[in-house]
Structure 1
């Protein structure tokens, strides 16, 4: 199984276009040892020809152009994207679907809650019906029942419901439902290797723990270093957990939890532009390295 990181930043990317906090300003001016990043998305394949795309960020066009393997060029108009799985209905994970309209119909897998959001509050599924009928939507079960995808050989997928909030535009923003946000356990049935992908892992719940313990690679939420990072930097007024993200630092943070896992390779993704781990020579990045935790970057390949 090959996992290719198309984008590794949280919403807004890095640098964020309108942000002058020291991280975005420094990478923009070239004064920081840091790499620019596009918004979070990955692609997974076992044959390097048929790919499952996880999320479609607003940066999708640039991401696809930077990854020639996803364009097999078998016909005059072609794509290696066999299916798309949405882990939630957030703007930074779904807007790029509009940029793929020329390739419709595409197979899109999502939960009922995500489908509801994308046909009401942000009705992109409805809009896309005007391009070759739009998406072929497939339901993702949230009872931990596994499913497979045609053309994607040897991979099995299991969605695990995560506690979270629906996006601000959602009709049920203040009434969380199972399926608003999922993690996905991906198994390669040939190699018996697996990865757990959850860019919005805001809490370590009992039903999630077994997947994190048994997998070969965890690719999880790296949004914030501090619980009060947005407040401290002056860019917003909410804490990390209030908006569904588990910060890395602290006694009950992501680092402390990942230290309890002995088996998997540990990689953080969906990194906010305020997070000091983006600076490669920062003390925070050194602390991650000491704990054997990696930071995803655009173009990174993970082979399992």
Structure 2
């Protein structure tokens, strides 16, 4: 199984277009050592030919151009993307569907019934795309192993995560199982497992069990502290209120990752532009390294 990180940043990317926080301003002016990042998405393959796209970010066209395997050029119109899995219905994970509207047949899109409702009623992406390539919806089951047509050698299992639905959702502030998910991917040949959860706000027992069973975890790295956005004046919400477990502090992601087996590869993804770990010379980045935790970057590849 091969995993390609297409985008490693949270919504807005890095640097964010309207942000002059120390990270964004520092990157633009060359004052910090950091890499620009597009919005969160990965592609996974079991045969190096057919790829499953996890989330369709607004930066999807740039991400496809940066990874030739997604455009194998076998015909006049071609793609290496066999199917799309949506983790949630957030704008930064679904807007890229509009950019893929020229597909020659309906896209196989796997998502929960909750996400389908959000993208049919609150933000009717699916309805709009009905005028173009269309969507062939596949209901994504929870806590049941399933296969995806066109993605040989891979097995999938989705877990419901505690989170809130987007602001346009019909059930905003009334969370339902399936608003946000994490996914375990299994290589059929080797048995190796990846756990992927770019939005993880609470460490529930079933989620922790999935992480402990994985050979690699690719998980929420949005914010370093719970009050990061408040201290910067960028938001009035804490990290946890936004559905993201902060890395530092009691009960933070670092504490949980430290408890994983020593053989587990630990990688943070969905990194907000304000997070000091983006500065490769920061104290926080050094602390991650001391804990054996990696920071995902655009173009990063993981083989399991």
Range class of TM-score, shorter chain: over 0.9
Native 8 Å contact 2:55 2:84 kept in 1: yes
Q: CA deviation at 1:169?
A: 1.3
Q: Give per-residue Cα distances to partners, 1:70-129, cap 9 Å, x unaligned.
A: 111111100000000000000000000000000141110000000000000110100001
1:113 aligns with 2:117: no
Q: Quick check: 2:47–2:153 contact (8 Å CA) kept in 1?
A: no
Runs of 4+ in 1 over 6 A off after TM superposition: none
Superposition CA RMSD, Å: 0.7
Offset of residue 154 of structure 1: 1.2
Trace 1:212-291 onto structure 2 (pairs within 5 A): 212-262=211-261, 263-291=263-291
Runs of at least 5 residues in structure 2 that lack an aligned partner in the other structure: none
The aligned counterpart of 1:176 is 175
1:136 aligns with 2:136: yes
Return the offset for 1:209: 1.4
Secondary structure of the 1:114 match is helix
1:1-304, aligned counterparts within 5 Å?
1-103=1-103, 104-132=105-133, 134-142=134-142, 144-262=143-261, 263-304=263-304
Q: How many residue pairs get matched?
A: 302
CA distance in 2, matches of 1:66, 1:227: 33
Alignment TM-score, normalising by the size of structure 1: 0.98
Q: CA deviation at 1:49?
A: 1.2
| Deviation by residue 1:156-210 (Cα, 9 ceiling, x = unmatched) | 0000000000011111111100000000000001011110000001111011111
Relative to the length of structure 2, the TM-score reads: 0.98
Once the two structures are superposed, what CA deviation does each residue of 1:255-301 show, in whole Å capped at 9, x if it has no partner? Answer: 01100001410000000000000000100000000000000000000
